[in-house]
Amino acid sequence: MNILGLSYMYHDSAACLLRDGEIAAAAAEERFVRIKHSVDFPIRAIRYCLEAGGLAVRDLDAMVFYEKPFLKFERILQTHIAAFPRSRKSFRAFLPMWLSHKLCVPQTIRETTGFAGPVYFADHHYAHAASAFLPSPFERAMVLTMDGTGEWSTLACGVGQGRDLRLDKELRFPHSLGLLYSAVTAHLGFKVNGGEARSWAWPRTASRRSPPSSRSSSACARTAASSST
């Protein structure tokens, strides 16, 4: 069975080809377009994976997107409604983009690649957990995922055994260690969804170099909130 996993429209667009349960190829779009953290549809990464795996699009049994857009849309919509009218400007920016692109993943995949088979959607934290546990050398392990946001989860915990994976504990938005990390990153003057590694490394190099600039705490909170979309 040949399955192609995809991520795009957020940060670090990428593709990964699984052939009979084994990773045959994986690539980030930024390597081909030379744009760091590219969010574009990963057509070049897809081409690379298929070529490396010796397959054509018609040989794929399924494509899988890395999260569930409608659940994420629900979360963002509820967040904007709860913050109305302060969220009015952000709402006007996000709604057209979601309606025209982010809720149209299967159509985009079919139109761009010509794929006619099924398109599935993985729960975001299951995607993270599977990418860590399934290729690991462990038969049984506790699995912990932490990020800014997924659909509603921001942290998930469970157990992996063999080919099974179960996440039964979660922390839900707006509580998020990842968003706190992003807020600190923005406060240090680095870009959210890309600069986090720099904010991690910065204390080690602080004696030699200062961050680009500091921001006010309100600016940093806004930046972290916008990163959750």
**Which residue ranges make up the site for Fe ion (CB under 5 A)?**
147
- State the nearest-atom distance from the C-beta of 199 to Fe ion, in Å: 17
- State the nearest-atom distance from the C-beta of 130 to Fe ion, in Å: 12
CA gap 141, 125 in Å, rounded: 16
- State the nearest-atom distance from the C-beta of 206 to Fe ion, in Å: 28
- State the nearest-atom distance from the C-beta of 124 to Fe ion, in Å: 6
**Long-range contacts of range 109-112, CB-CB < 8 Å, 24 or more positions apart?**
109/6, 109/63, 109/65, 112/41, 112/43
Closest to Fe ion by CB, 145 vs 199, is 145
Closest to Fe ion by CB, 2 vs 7, is 7
Closest to Fe ion by CB, 24 vs 76, is 76
Closest to Fe ion by CB, 29 vs 147, is 147
CA quadruple 91, 94, 99, 105: dihedral, nearest 10: -150
Helix axes 43-53, 105-113, angle to 10 degrees: 60
CA angle at residue 139 from 22 to 168, to 5 degrees?
95
